[in-house]
Structure 1
């Protein structure tokens, strides 16, 4: 069978990806937008700071609890350090030790083409190992979201925010299911006047279950052990709709999923932001560890 130039180019692209141990663990689309290995630094992932004006105390309480993500060797007291999946470091997102506390890390881009994008990562989560017991229900949830806005030439542009979380436990009961959110909290003015607005979209209200979204993830036998989990989410920037969600060996149904939507804001054109977040269900810190992230597009 005669191969076309396009077939040969695709075969060469796949061969190059598979020859690179850092990339062969992913299934990226044609163009890699960013590839973060946290042995090389933070890669642009920083604290999700809320809007404020005149004084940091004008920040909404949800944002005020956030702290900076850090690079971690995943240390533990019984055997030393895990390190990341492919290096000595992973990105660590840690909540405060207060039931219901949250933390988040954000990476900020803009897009140059409204096509399909793919978000892939390897992650794991644990509570802080302060007790000699498993603690499998101590982490309430971990998840991710996109913060997107259409281009400035679009009539009737939108800001669109797909949110997805794995609800691990609630009030001490194991839940283990995937959820999404399409309802938003109200915008509030911060500081004096109404020139700066803010909304805490990670508020606990408004989460809905993905159909068939129950999944039992690997959670090892003692509080210090970890196993890395693969996650892949496809989204179309043209239609602003989700396309596919995969976690390990499961394809999840996103056909009924929608996103938080609002009118476009005056200074966020072509925004392409990515956020990880974690929440604790007990008065101990929840840790979300991210080994690596690959963001790619079909352009």
Structure 2
């Protein structure tokens, strides 16, 4: 009965959640807890790693465009917008910070789209470098010294160096962890650096990209992860189900103040000296019971 009622709900019917819904973010209701990913600092903002200093806050957007007005969201007026700076390789990240109450299966579902700033009368299909998402997870405090901080990363590499690539990738390579400040309480690492991405098995996918630079089409993604085993159990985008048997996450020793962390982030990266935009409308995070 619950499943039948959910399928009739115009907001939830486009998702396939696990039995308990933890998050259902429709940005017609506002930001829903999504915010700028601010880098760690101590005593001075200048101590922040450079990768984080480029980030700006997400925006609520009607997907306005110059030739016909606004697209709006999937089923309402607003979507969450991430915008890069107009510099090749620039990134922006939006994050939602949570904690978990049980270790078990979780499922992320979202509707997304991306496009470059429509500043030229040409398709510009290779101006966006990448769009992706990540979790930042850590075990509970009872795990002790053997616990891990686990960070599954997934991106759609759309283009690189002006050439279309169109494939899904993951990242498990650790990056340097830097001490921040002088008190020994804060560290930082820029885990979205361009190095270390690996191709997902048979991860090539051509996404719908409409005929002029102001048009968008929404895409569906679904990512399954088990907090008990800290392993990815499934990934799909639109009609494609991908082999995740070779998938792994970036792993670090547990940190002393991040127990039961369940952070979720989305990011966008540009390939040209032009702003790129990532949009989200409808994010559902659910868990098994």
Same fold (TM over 0.5): yes
Structure 1 runs of 4+ with >4 Å offset: none
Tell me which of 57, 78, 91 is aligned to 2:67: 78
Secondary structure of 1:27's aligned partner = coil
TM-score (norm: length of structure 2): 0.99
The count of aligned residue pairs is 288
Partner of residue 202, structure 2: 212
TM-score (norm: length of structure 1): 0.95
Partner of residue 19, structure 1: 8
In our comparison, the structure showing a higher alpha carbon Rg is 1
Provide structure 1 residue ranges, at least 5 long, that are not aligned to the other structure: 1-11
Partner of residue 240, structure 1: 230
For the residues of structure 1 that align with 2:148 and 2:182, how far apart are their CA atoms? 27
* Structure 1 residue 19: Cα displacement: 1.6
1:155-207 per-position Cα deviation (integer Å, ceiling 9, x unaligned): 41100000000000000000000000001211111223543111000000000
Secondary structure of 1:268's aligned partner = coil
In the alignment, structure 1 residue 90 sits paired with structure 2 residue 74: no
In the alignment, structure 1 residue 164 sits paired with structure 2 residue 154: yes
In the alignment, structure 1 residue 104 sits paired with structure 2 residue 86: no
Partner of residue 46, structure 1: 35
Partner of residue 181, structure 2: 191
Partner of residue 175, structure 1: 165
For the residues of structure 1 that align with 2:22 and 2:195, how far apart are their CA atoms? 33
For the residues of structure 1 that align with 2:5 and 2:43, how far apart are their CA atoms? 51
In the alignment, structure 1 residue 267 sits paired with structure 2 residue 260: no
* Structure 1 residue 68: Cα displacement: 0.2
For the residues of structure 2 that align with 1:87 and 1:25, how far apart are their CA atoms? 14
In the alignment, structure 1 residue 148 sits paired with structure 2 residue 137: yes
* Structure 1 residue 257: Cα displacement: 0.5
1:211-254 per-position Cα deviation (integer Å, ceiling 9, x unaligned): 10000000000000000000000000000000000000000111
Partner of residue 6, structure 1: none
For the residues of structure 1 that align with 2:161 and 2:223, how far apart are their CA atoms? 28
In the alignment, structure 1 residue 116 sits paired with structure 2 residue 105: yes
Provide structure 2 residue ranges, at least 5 long, that are not aligned to the other structure: none
1:249-278 per-position Cα deviation (integer Å, ceiling 9, x unaligned): 000111101000011000000000000000
In the alignment, structure 1 residue 34 sits paired with structure 2 residue 20: no
- What RMSD over aligned residues (CA atoms) do the two structures have, in Å? 0.7
Tell me which of 51, 66, 70 is aligned to 2:55: 66
Secondary structure of 2:52's aligned partner = helix
In the alignment, structure 1 residue 255 sits paired with structure 2 residue 241: no
Secondary structure of 2:132's aligned partner = strand
For the residues of structure 1 that align with 2:46 and 2:206, how far apart are their CA atoms? 40
